[in-house]
């Protein structure tokens, strides 16, 4: 059984083998989400561990009528990574090679959009107004808060929140 929704139902019923199967099928994808936000393998691994603890505890809350299981788990992974990033503070790599840091500019959106499951998302993102798309990508792919997006785009916070909200509504409409 590789259906994430069925596995979540089994996890909710206390089936530990289903949790293991869910981990085996989804951990690498959730790790990719965490890496895109945290840009640190150890921190991403911690976020995935926290994510699966939350999945195990909240599996009964998943409602297939409200969305796909993989999206639900992706949201948990995203919030686990964001919580960890906030807890440890954002570390910004230095350009000074003497410090041992190497600046990394990951192509996080390309990884998210890769494969068949990303084709629909890619098409819907392309239909969005560029300002809405940019805000969504900065917030949901790169893990920036609304305030950080506003600072990066040099726009008022309320404007950024409105753009992201409108973009998410349009994206939801396109994906359904």
CATH number of 113-176: 1.10.10.10
pTM: 0.54
**pLDDT for 11:** 94
Average pLDDT, rounded, for the chain = 82
Read off the pLDDT of residues 65-116 as tens digits, 9 standing for 90 and up.
888 899 899 999 999 998 888 877 645 454 444 444 444 444 555 555 555 5
**pLDDT for 102:** 40
Whether the pLDDT of residue 117 is over 60: the answer is: no
Ranges of each domain in the chain: 1-89, 113-176
Mean pLDDT, residues 153-159 taken together: 90
1-89 and 113-176 have identical folds? no
Read off the pLDDT of residues 36-60 as tens digits, 9 standing for 90 and up.
888 888 889 999 999 999 999 999 9
**pLDDT for 174:** 87
Report the topology of domain 1-89.
Answer: Rna Polymerase Sigma Factor; Chain: A (1.10.1740)
**pLDDT for 62:** 93
What are the contacts of 28-36 at 24+ separation with CB within 8 A? 29/70, 29/74, 30/73, 30/74, 30/77, 32/111, 32/112, 33/74, 33/77, 33/78, 33/81, 33/112, 34/77, 34/78, 34/80, 34/81, 35/106, 36/106, 36/108, 36/111, 36/112, 36/141, 36/142, 36/143
């Amino acid at each position: 059984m590789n259906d994430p929704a069925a596995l979540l139902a089994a996890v909710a019923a206390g089936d530990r083998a289903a949790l293991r199967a869910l981990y085996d099928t989804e951990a690498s994808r959730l790790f990719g989400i965490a890496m895109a936000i945290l840009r640190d393998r150890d921190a991403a691994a911690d976020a995935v561990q926290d994510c699966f603890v939350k999945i195990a505890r909240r599996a009964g809350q998943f409602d297939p009528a409200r969305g796909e299981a993989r999206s639900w788990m992706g949201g948990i992974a995203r919030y686990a990574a964001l919580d960890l990033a906030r807890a440890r503070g954002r570390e910004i790599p230095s350009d000074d090679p003497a410090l041992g840091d190497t600046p990394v500019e990951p192509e996080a959106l390309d990884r998210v959009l890769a494969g068949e499951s990303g084709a629909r998302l890619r098409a819907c993102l392309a239909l969005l107004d560029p300002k809405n798309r940019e805000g969504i990508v900065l917030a949901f792919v790169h893990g920036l808060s609304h305030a950080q997006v506003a600072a990066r785009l040099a726009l008022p916070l309320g404007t950024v929140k409105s753009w992201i909200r409108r973009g998410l509504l349009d994206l939801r409409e396109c994906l359904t």
